[in-house]
């Protein structure tokens, strides 16, 4: 991807160059608005925005000291400490840094030629965006707004992430609060397609009427290249406005008499699913779909997405398959062990009605016994009046078995008190023990008020859904209720995983199959969750090292074909039962396998994969054994279900051995030609691992075997360093802080010393039993605390280690320390102790809790 030069910005943004950067060829790579999120300073341009209570110009000295060198500031600003304090910086003055930010994003948008969806409406924007991205992710590489970045500032940041060389589709949401704002967002997003969700009737301060608000929102769709608006024709206000503007549309209805492109008719509804028949008027297609939820906002949001998929002519069976998986990754919901044997569902990022319904669904699916509690903030963005809104909220509770509600916020306090005073549906008996019949309610005006009286012992043996809009800061409640005994977590980002999968897919010729290696607990990331995502993303094959790993996947419901690389011969009967396909790498194994045909069975014999040794010298038939192997195949060709032939490269990632690699490829071609002739038919052939996929495109054959690349590590060092996203973050917490006098020693064998001056050290809750390598001890390793490096002091112990935090005075017990992930890339850490990223990933012990997130 090409980036503009900083020196080109004055022309693009109608600005004035106050000072050229010391590096005249500085490129604009990242847009930075927040001094706490610098990340990579190289190529970061800081836009000094001014808000009501905030002035970005105040942060220039801090940013400069963190290495940021490119700044856009407002005209006539007096710089703190004068220009000379920023001697290496490039500084441009503009009339409005916000307008400049928006213009730059709009210019960037023009480089992208693919389709771009713009989503607006009063409710459901974020949900529709997330769901659409999920549903289309098997077909497209999507750039979408992170979370609900839909404002004057969020939209330019989102659109800046579009990479014309990588993405095939953009999905951005736009939210406005006053007249004039949408025009600016439209100029940045420049949508080619759009979705209008719904219009709320609530009175909005920024508009004189609902009509005016609607008219403003529809401005998003007035650009010259706009092709199609997806909307629901059942809201008369919306239909009239859309029709009178003459926008090109694809509309749907749920009413029998309304004319529309697509008609949905309810077939059946149950507690947690809804099935509807869809009739596509133009093509005559009818099909029935089942949505995995029953609440009205979710159905509405789901139908918007369904309309897009039907219009794209995705096969109905395929649509259904994707719909069925919709909710598990629809929200950022984390499951955590709580104190006092409780279990927390942590969803503390946004809180609209649809999101609440989904989270309650997730709560309903928990099978743990005991009481269910909901800690809920004010529900935002609903478009309903308080009374109607909380009536809906209360209506959702019984199905999830909620028997205690803690409401936090002014509005929820008022409404829930009113309801319990009227004795509607609820009673206010605190500590009621009758599940489902009565629900106990407590309310607090603010999160602080709740925390002030919180006693974690009030929450015992229960499942607690903690659901709050971001501004309520519910992460503090989670921290108070979460079990503290072992603060180490491996966070696995499922979005990053999908992203990496798409990246490798794009390297393949159409039709090349993809096998994904999920051996060793999916490189430490968690086999079941990764396999389940791969099934959704339509990988063709999975591979594991041992039969047990395959059995665990089958028992968890994974149905993709699974190859087992090293099955013990006596496991063949088990393989048959679990539909697992062994690699056959020796004559002994082949004989054992053939012997299973003598055992009568209802089930077909498992397919096999022939492993050929072309130079790895690990497992497989040698070229010298080829004549014998060919003869054996000829003998049994009638009933040998050979699914594939494969070999493994010894040095796919090392250019110095490319000649050897080419010899391996030539040997593979020779051997497979002979074997296929012996079998009398051709089979799938595959050779390449992650590094090989990128380095030997001529040798993709019929299938490739993706491994570490999926987990975000480029073993070949050939791809653009931003092409892959890191998948795993290993984090732990500080258990205690100590001050060491000069000369004191730390830990076993007294190998750490506080040297000449007093040091502050932190004891971390991670040790070699968690997979944190002992070789990181004594300064070899570093963790990040508050974003700053803290070196290891002394030896790594079994369950703990110590780091020096003298330079991080704000570090406190309970703070998080990052062990690897963003800012601490695996290959670099591995290099420090003479190993490879593979080992660091697979060493993370199973006792470390995995948390799966999706944004």
Known binding residues for substrate are 618, 798
711 is catalytic: no
Q: What is the 8-class DSSP label of residue 569?
A: G
HEC readout, 645-676: EECCCCCCCCHHHHHHHHHHHHHHHHHHHHHH
Three-state SS at 48: coil
Out of 715, 746, 761, 796, the residue judged to bind ligand PLP by CB under 6 A = 715
Q: Please, which residue, 72 or 520, has the CB nearer to ligand PLP? A: 520
695 binds ligand PLP, rule: CB under 6 A: no
Q: Please name the residues in contact with 251: beta carbons below 8 A apart, sequence gap of 6 or more.
A: 230, 231, 232, 233, 239, 242, 260, 261, 262
Q: How far apart are CA 715 and CA 713, in angstroms?
A: 6
Out of 403, 689, 728, 778, the residue judged to bind ligand PLP by CB under 6 A = 689
Q: Please, which residue, 139 or 839, has the CB nearer to ligand PLP? A: 839
707 binds ligand PLP, rule: CB under 6 A: yes
Angle between helices 386-396 and 410-421 (to 10 degrees): 70
Q: Please, which residue, 97 or 707, has the CB nearer to ligand PLP? A: 707
User: Which of these segments, 302-310, 403-411, 688-696, 800-808, binds ligand PLP (CB under 6 A)?
Assistant: 688-696
Number of residues in contact with ligand PLP under rule CB under 6 A: 11
821 binds ligand PLP, rule: CB under 6 A: no
Angle (CA) 270 321 265, round 5°: 45
R_g of the chain computed on alpha carbons? 30
Residue closest to 160 by CA, chosen among 201, 189, 122: 189
Closest distance to ligand PLP from the beta carbon of 488 (Å): 24
User: Which of these segments, 243-251, 359-367, 416-424, 701-709, binds ligand PLP (CB under 6 A)?
Assistant: 701-709
| String marking each residue 348-377 x if it binds ligand PLP according to CB under 6 A | ------------------------------
Q: What is the 8-class DSSP label of residue 542?
A: E
Q: Please name the residues in contact with 337: beta carbons below 8 A apart, sequence gap of 6 or more.
A: 343, 344, 482, 483, 849
Three-state SS at 389: helix
254 binds ligand PLP, rule: CB under 6 A: no
Q: How far apart are CA 523 and CA 236, in angstroms?
A: 53
Number of C-beta neighbours around residue 632 at 10 A: 17
Q: Which of residues 536-575 bind ligand PLP (CB under 6 A)?
A: 565
518 binds ligand PLP, rule: CB under 6 A: no
Q: Which of residues 631-650 bind ligand PLP (CB under 6 A)?
A: 648
Q: Please, which residue, 18 or 713, has the CB nearer to ligand PLP? A: 713
467 is catalytic: no
Q: What is the 8-class DSSP label of residue 5?
A: B
Closest distance to ligand PLP from the beta carbon of 627 (Å): 25
User: Which of these segments, 175-183, 246-254, 367-375, 706-714, binds ligand PLP (CB under 6 A)?
Assistant: 706-714
Residue closest to 46 by CA, chosen among 13, 77, 16, 72: 72
705 binds ligand PLP, rule: CB under 6 A: yes
Catalytic residue among 129, 213, 336, 519: 519
Q: Please, which residue, 221 or 838, has the CB nearer to ligand PLP? A: 838
Q: Please, which residue, 389 or 708, has the CB nearer to ligand PLP? A: 708
Q: Please, which residue, 447 or 690, has the CB nearer to ligand PLP? A: 690
Q: Beta partners for 698?
A: none
Closest distance to ligand PLP from the beta carbon of 692 (Å): 8
690 binds ligand PLP, rule: CB under 6 A: yes
Q: Please, which residue, 333 or 708, has the CB nearer to ligand PLP? A: 708
Q: Are 29 and 44 in contact (CB under 8 A)?
A: yes
Closest distance to ligand PLP from the beta carbon of 690 (Å): 3
Residue closest to 42 by CA, chosen among 60, 56, 25, 30: 30
Q: Please name the residues in contact with 458: beta carbons below 8 A apart, sequence gap of 6 or more.
A: none
Q: Please, which residue, 72 or 514, has the CB nearer to ligand PLP? A: 514
Q: Write out the H or E segment, with its range, that includes residue 329.
A: none
Which string of DSSP letters, residue by residue, matches 462-487?
A: -EEEEE--GGG-THHHHHHHB--S--
Q: Please, which residue, 345 or 715, has the CB nearer to ligand PLP? A: 715
Residue closest to 222 by CA, chosen among 180, 192, 181, 179: 192
Task: List b or e across 800-809, with b for residues whose CB sees 16 or more CB atoms inside 10 angstroms.
Answer: bbbbbbbebe
User: Rounded to the nearest 10 degrees, how much is the dihedral formed by the CA atoms of 786, 791, 795, 801?
Assistant: 0
Q: Are 65 and 81 in contact (CB under 8 A)?
A: no
Q: How far apart are CA 58 and CA 778, in angstroms?
A: 39
135 binds ligand PLP, rule: CB under 6 A: no
Closest distance to ligand PLP from the beta carbon of 518 (Å): 10
Find the residue with minimal CB distance to ligand PLP.
707
| String marking each residue 754-773 x if it binds ligand PLP according to CB under 6 A | --------------------
Residue closest to 353 by CA, chosen among 376, 335, 336, 332: 376
Closest distance to ligand PLP from the beta carbon of 622 (Å): 17
Out of 359, 481, 522, 708, the residue judged to bind ligand PLP by CB under 6 A = 708
Angle (CA) 416 418 420, round 5°: 70
Q: Where are the alpha helices (DSSP H) in 190-272?
A: 210-218, 236-245
Closest distance to ligand PLP from the beta carbon of 691 (Å): 6
Closest distance to ligand PLP from the beta carbon of 648 (Å): 4
Report the number of secondary-structure helices (H) and strands (E) in the chain.
Answer: 26, 38
Q: How far apart are CA 72 and CA 62, in angstroms?
A: 15
Residue closest to 530 by CA, chosen among 728, 333, 332, 337: 728
User: Which of these segments, 45-53, 622-630, 684-692, 723-731, binds ligand PLP (CB under 6 A)?
Assistant: 684-692
Closest distance to ligand PLP from the beta carbon of 478 (Å): 35
Q: Please, which residue, 137 or 690, has the CB nearer to ligand PLP? A: 690
Closest distance to ligand PLP from the beta carbon of 611 (Å): 8
517 binds ligand PLP, rule: CB under 6 A: yes
User: Which of these segments, 2-10, 551-559, 593-601, 708-716, binds ligand PLP (CB under 6 A)?
Assistant: 708-716
Q: How many CA atoms lie within 13 A of 458 on its CB side?
A: 14
269: left (phi over 0), alpha (psi -120 to 50) or beta: beta
What is the pairing mode between strands 463-467 and 44-47?
unpaired
Closest distance to ligand PLP from the beta carbon of 730 (Å): 19
Q: Which of residues 255-294 bind ligand PLP (CB under 6 A)?
A: none
User: Which of these segments, 138-146, 165-173, 454-462, 689-697, binds ligand PLP (CB under 6 A)?
Assistant: 689-697
Q: How far apart are CA 838 and CA 844, in angstroms?
A: 11
Q: Please, which residue, 136 or 565, has the CB nearer to ligand PLP? A: 565
Binding residues: 618, 798
First to last CA, the chain: 24
Closest distance to ligand PLP from the beta carbon of 708 (Å): 4
Q: How far apart are CA 695 and CA 699, in angstroms?
A: 9
In the complex, which residues of this chain contact ligand PLP (CB under 6 A)?
517, 565, 648, 689-691, 705, 707-709, 715
Catalytic residues, which ones?
A: 519, 748
């Amino acid at each position: 991807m090409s980036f503009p030069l900083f020196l080109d910005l004055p022309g693009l943004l109608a600005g004035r160059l106050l000072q050229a950067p010391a590096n005249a060829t500085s490129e604009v790579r990242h847009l930075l608005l927040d001094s706490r999120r610098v990340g990579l300073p190289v190529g970061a341009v800081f836009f000094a925005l001014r808000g009501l209570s905030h002035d970005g110009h105040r942060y220039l000295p801090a940013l400069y000291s963190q290495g940021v060198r490119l700044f856009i500031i407002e005209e006539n600003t007096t710089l703190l400490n004068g220009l000379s304090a920023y001697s290496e910086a490039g500084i441009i003055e503009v009339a409005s840094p916000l307008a400049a930010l928006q213009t730059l994003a709009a210019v960037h948008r023009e480089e992208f030629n693919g389709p771009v969806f713009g989503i607006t409406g009063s409710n459901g924007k974020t949900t529709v965006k997330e769901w659409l991205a999920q549903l289309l992710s098997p077909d497209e590489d999507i750039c979408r707004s992170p979370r609900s970045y839909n404002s004057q500032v969020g939209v330019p940041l989102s659109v800046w992430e579009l990479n014309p060389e990588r993405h095939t589709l953009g999905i951005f949401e736009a939210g406005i609060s006053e007249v004039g704002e949408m025009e600016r967002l439209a100029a940045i997003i420049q949508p080619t397609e759009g979705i209008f969700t719904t219009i709320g009737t609530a009175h909005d301060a920024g508009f004189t009427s609902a009509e005016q608000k609607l008219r403003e929102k529809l401005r998003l769709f007035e650009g010259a290249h706009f092709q199609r608006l997806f909307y629901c024709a059942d809201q008369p206000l919306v239909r009239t406005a859309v029709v009178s503007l003459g926008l090109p549309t694809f509309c749907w209805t749920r009413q029998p008499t309304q004319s529309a492109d697509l008609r949905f008719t309810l077939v059946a509804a149950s507690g947690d699913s809804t099935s509807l028949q869809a009739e596509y008027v133009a093509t005559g297609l009818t099909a029935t779909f089942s949505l995995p939820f029953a609440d009205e906002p979710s159905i509405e949001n789901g139908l918007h997405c369904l309309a897009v998929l039907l219009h794209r002519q995705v096969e109905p069976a395929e649509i259904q398959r994707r719909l069925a998986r919709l909710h598990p990754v629809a929200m950022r919901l984390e499951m955590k062990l709580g104190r006092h044997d409780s279990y927390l569902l942590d969803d503390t990022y946004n809180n609209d009605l649809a999101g609440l319904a989904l989270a309650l669904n997730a709560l309903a699916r928990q099978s743990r016994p005991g009481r269910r509690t909901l800690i809920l903030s004010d529900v935002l963005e609903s478009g309903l009046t308080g009374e109607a809104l909380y009536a809906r909220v209360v209506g959702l509770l019984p199905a999830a078995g909620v028997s205690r509600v803690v409401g936090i916020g002014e509005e929820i306090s008022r409404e829930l008190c009113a309801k319990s005073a009227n004795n509607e549906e609820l009673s206010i008996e605190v500590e009621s023990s009758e599940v489902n019949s009565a629900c106990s309610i407590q309310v607090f005006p603010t999160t602080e008020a709740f925390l002030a009286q919180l006693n974690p012992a009030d929450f015992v043996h229960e499942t607690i859904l903690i659901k709050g809009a971001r501004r309520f800061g519910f992460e503090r409640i989670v921290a108070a209720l979460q079990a503290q005994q072992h603060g180490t977590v491996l966070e696995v980002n499922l979005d990053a995983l999908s992203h990496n999968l798409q990246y490798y897919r794009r390297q393949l010729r159409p039709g090349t199959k993809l096998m994904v290696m999920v051996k060793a607990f999916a490189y430490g990331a968690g086999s079941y969750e990764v396999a389940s995502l791969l099934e959704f993303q339509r990988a063709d094959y999975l591979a594991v090292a041992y039969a047990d790993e395959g059995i665990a996947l089958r028992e968890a419901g994974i149905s993709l074909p699974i190859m087992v690389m090293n099955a013990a011969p006596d496991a063949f009967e088990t393989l048959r039962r679990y539909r697992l396909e062994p690699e056959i790498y020796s004559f002994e194994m082949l004989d054992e396998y053939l012997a299973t045909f003598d055992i009568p069975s209802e089930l077909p014999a498992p397919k096999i994969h022939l492993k050929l040794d072309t130079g790895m010298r690990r497992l497989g038939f040698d070229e010298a054994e080829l004549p014998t192997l060919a003869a054996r195949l000829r003998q049994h060709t009638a009933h040998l279900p050979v699914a594939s032939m494969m070999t493994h490269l010894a040095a796919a990632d090392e250019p110095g051995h490319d000649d050897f690699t080419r010899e391996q490829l030539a040997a593979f071609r020779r051997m497979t030609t002979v074997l296929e002739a012996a079998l009398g038919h051709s089979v799938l052939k595959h050779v390449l691992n992650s590094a090989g996929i990128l380095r030997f495109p001529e040798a993709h054959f019929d299938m490739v075997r993706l491994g570490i690349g999926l987990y975000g590590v480029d073993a070949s060092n050939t791809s653009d360093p931003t092409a892959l996203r890191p998948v795993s973050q290993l984090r732990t917490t500080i258990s205690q802080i100590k001050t060491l006098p000069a000369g004191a020693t730390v830990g076993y064998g007294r190998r750490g010393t506080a040297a000449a001056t007093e040091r502050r050290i932190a004891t971390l809750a991670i040790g070699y039993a968690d997979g944190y390598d002992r070789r990181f001890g004594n300064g070899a390793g570093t963790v990040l605390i508050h974003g700053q490096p803290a070196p290891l002091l002394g030896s790594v112990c079994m369950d703990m280690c110590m780091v020096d935090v003298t330079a991080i005075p704000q570090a406190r017990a309970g703070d998080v320390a990052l062990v690897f992930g963003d800012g601490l890339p695996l290959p670099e850490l591995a290099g420090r102790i003479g190993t490879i990223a593979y080992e660091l990933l697979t060493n993370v012990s199973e006792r470390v809790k995995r948390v799966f997130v999706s944004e």
